[in-house]
Structure 1
Amino acid sequence: MVKELKRKHRLDMLGLVETKRQLVTRFDVLKIWRNGCAEWEYVESDGVSGGLLLMWDDGFFKMGNCYKGERWLCVEGILTENSINCAFFLVYGAHTRDEKRVVWEELSYIGGLCPGACCFLGDFNEIRQVEERRALESLPLSAQDYKNWIHDMGLVDLPISDRKFIWFRGQSCSRIDRVLVSLKWLEAFPETRLRGGPRGLSDHYPIIVEEKRLRDGSRPFRSLDSWFTHEGFLRMVREEWKWLGEVQFTDKLKALTVPLGKWHKDNFGDMDKKILKFEEEIQKIDDMVGNGSYDGTVEARKKALVTCCGKWYVRKELHWKQMSRSRHAKDMDKSTRYFHNLASVRRRNNRIDTLVINGRLVRNQAKIKITIREFYKDLYHQERSLEVGFRDGLVERISEEDSLALELLSSPEKVKEAVWDYCESSKAPRCDGYNMNFIKKCWTDIGSDFTAAVLGFF
């Protein structure tokens, strides 16, 4: 079985599981790698069973440490292109529950010795979900041990987009081969993706790991809670709302996305660069103080810089907390990195890289979007229903009191109470990207014009 890591269509690392070789020589490696620039480490087989081989381009990765077990191989070092410290684990899982527990314990220990980004790949001989093995009704106990190990290690199971099962033998098939990465790995390589290669004569499909950014068009509009921390935001919304004039509420919201997008780019674009600039200025003042240049003006400037930098820290935290959609956000300490990683994982899991359309596997993002939109338009189109009159005997006459109650319009207070009590602030009621936090705050600030429009909206 083969595990490949590719970058820009170039093979940088290759892992082989079940080599069945007790000795691997340079001659063996050159027959596979061919260009002569490979480094490698291996774990010998037990007779003709097992065996691991990990090869890499010496210009891609510089190994610092190597750890070996009977069923796993770990190389730790530096990626030469960006000087990122990382560790690659090639795994061949055991078959019995007790043996698997030993492997998980060994990998946990070695993982603790590798502080950088970690990537675990190979044949784990275990599944996580019932759906990962055909005709299975319940998970074995060893599967729960496996899931607990993944959770305790803080690993993310990367999905493979173009196939459901990886291993086939007769009528049996399952997904026992996978790639697990740490949050540090996703932080360094947020666009890591998996796809299957041709199986050939093997009973395993090879897994190809790629780091690439897919071009999927412009991002949809989304209102951000962090905007409300800016002193001039509501004033800008109020002015733009009045300038749009007397048009339908939904059209007005749609037109508002243009000035909001421009305002966001002017005021919230490149948050990291803004924070870095403030931090550099604070560092300069600290250097001046260290050199003895300190007076009231310097102190006042430092306080102002610290205050501004603090505001941007809060805005960045609010932004990634909203993007992560974490259910535990209120209970968490301030941790922008935590929410950033959650958002990255969620975005990756929600992306549709490939789709089977009319029996063909399609990767074109524009075609995928059009197909999905047309599918739901057809699914939810309005059908003509039979008209039923009161005289058909299906509806009884209601009292005059009930009739008047049904015709009464809801008061603004009732609508506001329903919106405030039953609509979660982080959720958007429509696909236009405006969440309830935006509706609530603009209702309070803009006044009667916005309120009347919202009444018609709901």
Structure 2
Amino acid sequence: MGGGSFTYISDHGDKLSKLDRVLVCMGFMERWPTASVLALNRDASDHRPILLSTIPSDYGHIPFRFFNSWLELPGFSDLVKHLCQNFFFNGPADMALLVKLRWLKNNIKAWLKAEKVRSDGEYSVKKNRIQSLEREAELRPLGDGELNERAECISFIMEVDRRKQMDAKQKSRSRWALEGDENSAFYHNVINANISNNRINGLIVNGVWCSNPVLVKESFFDFFANQFVEPMNARPAVICQNLVSLSDAEANILVEPFSLMEIKEAIWSCVGDRAPGPDGFNFKFIKKHWDMFQGDFLKFFKSFTLVGT
């Protein structure tokens, strides 16, 4: 709830309470997942009026997020391999890895958009074909070819629904969820709850509630920029006698270049569903296509070691 922390204040001002519930119908959050509640100014009444808004706030580009179900799509791995083999960038290693992931992201999004149109069309065709065959089965026995066709259509429908359920589990982050659980309403409720809890509808800027996305983002930028300002221009040196120091051999180990095995072990020790950065690719994607990325990571860590020395 924005606009205020409480909705009621007693005449003496010593009792505060909050009434921020709105009666809605079933399926409300599925249709308006970005709905927000705003407490308006209190004028004649001792209660703040509550405004329910379903107008989405446009905070700009939606961040890219990789879903594990994409790895099971026919042709996806071949697409990534083809794109990586045709990528070329002449520049610093860190910039090359950044540009490569960005280029992959743009091409994958375009491919997924076309694949979704194709898959949705085939899904509808096969679903209608199942209904048509079942109507025929009520009139006459189906032939072997028709029975096999129905089984193939059902298998395709179940596979598409399974991938959708994988996406729902990944969105809800329900690590306790059992494979094959068909309680999709549970996952959608968790997803909508996560969206509602993580969404920022506005901020109090200079004592005034502000819901303008541009001003909200500027306030966040200014706040965190001030957190990282160096408070001291010159810090005193640390001078201590008889400190324990590393030997030359130990010091040389610290500055040795990272090996490919060390980099791979560090990546394989990470959870696959987590994204290492704002690019949206998780470690499962990197592990799956490690042959396409190991050279980029090795160059990146090599340049990092050279800069550090």
| Structure 1 counterpart of 2:60 | 217
DSSP 3-state at the match of 1:179: coil
| Structure 1 counterpart of 2:298 | 452
Does residue 427 in structure 1 map to residue 274 in structure 2? Answer: yes
- Residue 208 of structure 1 aligns with an amino acid whose one-letter code is L
In structure 1, list runs of 5 or more residues that go unmatched.
1-159
Return the match for 1:172 from 15, 23, 35: 15
1:267 shift after superposition: 1.5
| Structure 1 counterpart of 2:307 | none
CA distance in 1, matches of 2:55, 2:61: 17
CA distance in 2, matches of 1:269, 1:378: 46
**Per the alignment, do residues 331 and 377 of structure 1 end up closer, same or farther by CA in structure 2, a change over 3 Å counting?**
farther
CA distance in 2, matches of 1:416, 1:385: 40
- Residue 241 of structure 1 aligns with an amino acid whose one-letter code is C
**Per the alignment, do residues 303 and 455 of structure 1 end up closer, same or farther by CA in structure 2, a change over 3 Å counting?**
farther
| Structure 2 counterpart of 1:197 | 40
| Structure 2 counterpart of 1:436 | 283
1:175 shift after superposition: 1.4
Does residue 285 in structure 1 map to residue 128 in structure 2? Answer: no
TM-score w.r.t. the length of structure 1 is 0.57
* Structure showing greater relative contact order (alpha-carbon pairs closer than 8 Å, 6 or more residues apart): 2
1:165 shift after superposition: 0.8
**Per the alignment, do residues 182 and 226 of structure 1 end up closer, same or farther by CA in structure 2, a change over 3 Å counting?**
farther
- Residue 292 of structure 1 aligns with an amino acid whose one-letter code is R
Contact 1:425–1:437 at 8 Å: present in 2 too? yes
- Residue 291 of structure 1 aligns with an amino acid whose one-letter code is L
**Per the alignment, do residues 183 and 225 of structure 1 end up closer, same or farther by CA in structure 2, a change over 3 Å counting?**
farther
- Residue 60 of structure 2 aligns with an amino acid whose one-letter code is G
Q: Which structure carries more helix by proportion?
A: 2
1:262 shift after superposition: 0.6
CA distance in 2, matches of 1:355, 1:270: 42
Contact 1:316–1:336 at 8 Å: present in 2 too? no
Contact 1:275–1:313 at 8 Å: present in 2 too? no
Query: What whole-Å deviation, never above 9, does each CA across 1:174-220 have from its counterpart, x for those lacking one?
Result: 21453366874423543433222342232211222343333333311
Contact 2:2–2:209 at 8 Å: present in 1 too? no
CA distance in 2, matches of 1:394, 1:257: 53
CA distance in 2, matches of 1:272, 1:173: 52
Written as runs of structure 1 = structure 2, the 5 A alignment for 1:245-324 is 245-246=88-89, 248-268=96-116, 275-292=123-140, 294-324=142-172
DSSP 3-state at the match of 2:289: helix
Written as runs of structure 1 = structure 2, the 5 A alignment for 1:111-122 is none
- Residue 223 of structure 1 aligns with an amino acid whose one-letter code is F
DSSP 3-state at the match of 2:36: strand
Contact 1:278–1:305 at 8 Å: present in 2 too? yes
In structure 2, list runs of 5 or more residues that go unmatched.
91-95, 305-309
The total of aligned residue pairs comes to 297
| Structure 1 counterpart of 2:93 | none
1:345 shift after superposition: 1.5
DSSP 3-state at the match of 1:356: strand
Amino-acid identity (%):
25
CA distance in 1, matches of 2:230, 2:288: 34
Farther off after superposition, 275-284 or 338-347: 275-284
| Structure 2 counterpart of 1:163 | 4
Q: Which structure carries more strand by proportion?
A: 1
1:285 shift after superposition: 1.9
CA distance in 2, matches of 1:273, 1:359: 52
| Structure 2 counterpart of 1:359 | 207
CA distance in 1, matches of 2:302, 2:181: 40
CA distance in 2, matches of 1:387, 1:199: 51
DSSP 3-state at the match of 2:21: strand
**Per the alignment, do residues 424 and 269 of structure 1 end up closer, same or farther by CA in structure 2, a change over 3 Å counting?**
farther
Return the match for 1:337 from 180, 185, 193: 185
Query: What whole-Å deviation, never above 9, does each CA across 1:96-146 have from its counterpart, x for those lacking one?
Result: xxxxxxxxxxxxxxxxxxxxxxxxxxxxxxxxxxxxxxxxxxxxxxxxxxx
Does residue 349 in structure 1 map to residue 190 in structure 2? Answer: no
CA distance in 1, matches of 2:82, 2:231: 41
DSSP 3-state at the match of 1:353: coil
1:293 shift after superposition: 6.5
